[in-house]
Amino acid sequence: MEINENLQAERNLKGTEFEKTGNLEKAIELYEENAAESFKGNHPYDRLATIYKNLNDLDNEIRILEKAIVVYEEITIEDRLEGLPKLFRFKNRLEKAIETKKQLAKQKKAKLK
């Protein structure tokens, strides 16, 4: 599959515009397309992780952060050192999201007792 970087950049810009107008569903759709194509930049992953976090959708937040980590591990292997700080940031966000999910599960379990 050939990747059209101009189309990906356009999706990011349109996604940002949709966010500004409150159309999160359309923004998510565009960012998810870029994530599915392993976009080599942080924008769609940052935006999706933030949107999913704000929607309390931890499963999707975790999923997209895991995807970002895979992409940034590849970027770092390609000797693009600017990817390293972003890789660490995505890993840190993932740890926090997983910890939040564990805490919520404990709280839910405690309420059931």
C-beta atoms surrounding 51 within 10 Å: 20
CATH of the domain at 66: 1.25.40.10
Q: What is the per-residue pLDDT for 54? A: 97
pTM: 0.90
2-37 in b/e form (b: 16+ CB < 10 A) is eeeeeebeebbeebeebbeeeebeebbebbbebbeb
**Per residue in 42-95, pLDDT tens?**
999 999 999 999 999 999 999 999 999 999 998 887 767 778 899 999 999 999
Q: What is the per-residue pLDDT for 1? A: 56
Number of domains in the chain: 1
Q: Dmax of the chain from CA atoms?
A: 54
